[in-house]
Amino acid sequence: MQVIHNQVHDIFALSKNKFYVRLWVQKGFVRCVTLIFSDRYDLEAQKVKMDFYMNVGSFEVYTAQVQNKTPRFAYKFLIELLDGSFKIFNQFGLADTEENLYFDAFQFPYANEADIFEKPSFTEGLVVYEIFPDRFKRGKKEVHSKKLFDWDYCSWDVPGSEVFLGGNFAGIKEKIEYFKTLGINAIYLTPIFKSLSSHRYNVDDYFDVDPLLGTKEEFKDLVNSLHKNGIRIILDMVFNHTGVEFFAFQDVIKNGENSKYYSWYNIKSLPVDVQKGNYETFATNVNSMPRINTSNKEVQDFFLKVLKYWLLEFDVDGFRFDVANELDKNFIRRIRRELKSIKKDILLIGEVMHRSENFLMGDMFDGVMNYFSWEVFARYLVGKYNAEDTSRILADYRLKFNPVLFSCQLNLIGSHDTERVLTRLNKNKKLAMLAAVYNLTYQGIPMIYYGDEIGMEGGHDPDCRRGMIWEEEKQDKEIFKLYRRLIDLKKTSSALNSDNVKEFSIVDVLCFERKSESEVVYILFNPRKALQKVKLWSEFIVDREIEFFSTQQKIKNHSCYIELELNPESFEIVLVR
């Protein structure tokens, strides 16, 4: 019998004296599990029967949330086997008896303040809308600083970074009513700082906005207008690299080793030559983006001044950090400490395009852009994974984290760095709608990439960055209506904002269970081309009112199961109240 308890992934302090504990036990051996715990010095033990939570692959997962007498927590597990015998599981493994009461126990020595993750209070019901400013809306403002391409340009015979459509702050402000109609309550802007490119990820001045977008006064007015309408704003910060016109890099070009900023960069040879790119860059040989050394304290000090400037002067609500996985981790921890001391509710999101366990321990980011879970679900949609494997992979990944922290993951189905969801799914509108359901019902903060809500298409960068389609006759009204309904459900459902989540499968139908004290929501997906008949068993649906999202039909259910027919490439959301 294999038993797993990982003290990195399976125990968390929820408050000073409250702890959340998981135990993984191989299927087919266990009748029940008891958690035995105490103060690590007192040893006057308390006992609580652990709840069977869910099956994940070949394991049964048991959980308990307990109130200890003190912040010092010693614990072990008493496992009753199916044959009636007992095993103790402690830090040395499985045993028939205990050798030493004190040294055998697992220890959470003390729940210090830094051990307790608190998510920003406004994240419940939060729905984020990502805007690529140059491509969203050209507001009513004369701009003469750049040659502007036609708004529907998408031939890409010119490099995307040199294509300017002229979207600006005025255009975003003009669409506040659109945001309210859609229902989103937060906006994430890709970089707005002075730059030579339209994407602005090669920043030349972190303390000024790009003049093509407007002025700092106009940006402050935009923030105030959004806040007055209940919409928060998140800025994109690029600290992995700078632009070549950034003052420090220019000084290195001019003064070489004598520059006071020489140690800010990894210069391979002198003199610095932008054409040759004889310095470390973002990615591989992206000469316009010299990589900056975030392990350097002077660099850290500079960027912290940048963050505090935009936080204090413009009252922004969060930051997203570009190429976050390559930043110095101690720098990220410093960012968290210093910003949270100024504004406790600031939301900190990292761009990590792979598994993120080592970035989500509660001491760095609140969340990351959850590309991993989306990739798993996308492979299910196109038939690369079946429902059983999908549920296992999703659950196994989610259960590496504090459940409170996982609620802060920025869920997405596309961004400025990927194909648009409709293109990714071979222009299959039905599957794109299933993706939208996943995005707005899975645990985390849903992020909608501008235009996905009206069915925009687009391949990889730069094609995914086309100008927003504003002609209503070209917008997909069915997709837009679905997004509006899903956003409303996300904002009003207590279950969809809880930390209680389960993934499971019925035949090849993937299912999510979301549960709060007053409500249970089941989300079922059938991306296949055949009708699927499923029987959903649950103790929570007996003598409860059930509403079906797709038809808005309501019934009173008196049995412990309901039968559903899922048409090909369809979904259902079952609300139990």
Query: What CA–CA distance (Å, rounded) separates 240 from 101?
Result: 49
pLDDT in tens, 162-215: 999 999 999 999 999 999 999 999 999 999 999 999 999 999 999 999 999 999
| Token pair 């936080």 in the structure block, residue | 311
Nearest C-alpha neighbor of 398 from the set 420, 424, 377: 377
Per-residue pLDDT, 143? 62
Are 204 and 243 a contacting pair, CB within 8 Å?
Answer: yes
Query: What CA–CA distance (Å, rounded) separates 353 from 392?
Result: 20
Catalytic residue among 10, 351, 366, 452: 351
HSE toward the beta carbon, residue 252, CA cutoff 13 A: 24
Are 498 and 404 a contacting pair, CB within 8 Å?
Answer: no
Per-residue pLDDT, 245? 98
**169-202 burial, b for 16+ CB within 10 Å, e for fewer?**
bbbbbebbeebeebbbbbbbbbbbbbbebbbbbb
> CA triplet 75, 76, 81: central angle to 5 degrees?
155
Per-residue pLDDT, 98? 76
Q: Is 461 exposed, middle or buried, given 0-12, 13-18 or 19+ CB atoms closer than 10 A?
A: middle
Strands (E), 302-394: 318-321, 347-350, 367-370
Q: Report residue 217 as tokens.
A: 């006064």
Catalytic residue among 130, 322, 503, 572: 322
pLDDT lower than 70: segments of the chain: 101, 142-144
Q: Report residue 566 as tokens.
A: 């899922």
Are 509 and 526 a contacting pair, CB within 8 Å?
Answer: yes
Query: What CA–CA distance (Å, rounded) separates 575 from 321?
Result: 36
Query: What CA–CA distance (Å, rounded) separates 459 from 448?
Result: 17
Per-residue pLDDT, 142? 67
Active site residue 351: yes
Q: Is 16 exposed, middle or buried, given 0-12, 13-18 or 19+ CB atoms closer than 10 A?
A: middle
Cα–Cα distances (Å) from 377 to 132, 159, 388, 526, 538, in that order, read 25, 32, 12, 12, 24
Query: What CA–CA distance (Å, rounded) separates 575 from 467?
Result: 37
Cα–Cα distances (Å) from 394 to 316, 390, 408, in that order, read 32, 6, 16
pTM: 0.96
Total residues belonging to the chain: 577
